[in-house]
Amino acid sequence: KPHYDIHFYMISDEYRSGMTCDLIPNAPVCNPGAQSSDAGLKFFKYVPTGTGGHLTNMPEGYETMSDTAVPQMGIHSYHPDQPSVSQWLEPVLVMGSYDSKVIFWEPMVPVEFVSGNSENTYDSGYISYVDQTIPGLPSSYTGEYSPKNGRTTFTLHGRRYEKCPKGTTLDVWSGGCINESKPATCSAWDCDPGYVYEDGECKYSW
């Protein structure tokens, strides 16, 4: 069914470019039964399970589908209890992984939601993740379509990552800034209002 994929990646474009695999003949997806490279095998190293046997850092009940691995994208996971194609009229949340880590967060939006003569709105409600360790995962999202101007707006809600100081890099899986010499001593989320995260510490901002 025609739809839009809105991918939010937690990895760099450079890293994604190395995510290659051996494809199923005449199909654009990775072959789950035959991979000749380490990069290809990493598509099928699934996110570990946690409480209740559910995938960690994903909503409860999500399952990884072995036939959904796409080069430079990742392998997809979603709840198997989804509406039929004909009844799919609202966004659904899909998540993706590679090398046993969550790497993208993706609302899939059917074309009916972003077209036509009626105003469409969607509210995901609160999203809970199993044994969540990635602080930047959205806690909810909303979508709006206006037939007056043909504009679609999606808004993500949740905690915002702080900008890392020069010389350091954000570690999205912990929420902290790290450098080569030493790991961050605290997360950006540990800083109280009036303080800024810098060099692994929360410092008062005048």
pTM above 0.75, yes or no: yes
pLDDT at 85 (0 to 100): 86
* Cβ pair 176, 187 in contact under 8 A: yes
pLDDT at 181 (0 to 100): 46
pLDDT at 197 (0 to 100): 58
Mean pLDDT of the chain: 87
Burial (Cβ within 10 Å: 0-12, 13-18, ≥19) of residue 3: middle
Q: Which of 79-88, 101-110, 195-204 has the lowest mean pLDDT?
A: 195-204
Q: What is the pLDDT of residues 129-158, one digit of tens each?
A: 999 988 889 999 999 999 999 999 999 998
Work out the average pLDDT over 38-64.
97
Longest dimension (CA), the chain: 61
Distance CA 188, CA 204 (A): 13
* Cβ pair 60, 54 in contact under 8 A: yes
Neighbouring residues of 12: CB distance < 8 A, sequence distance ≥ 6 = none
Q: Which of 153, 159, 95, 146 has its CA nearest to residue 123?
A: 153
Work out the average pLDDT over 166-186.
64
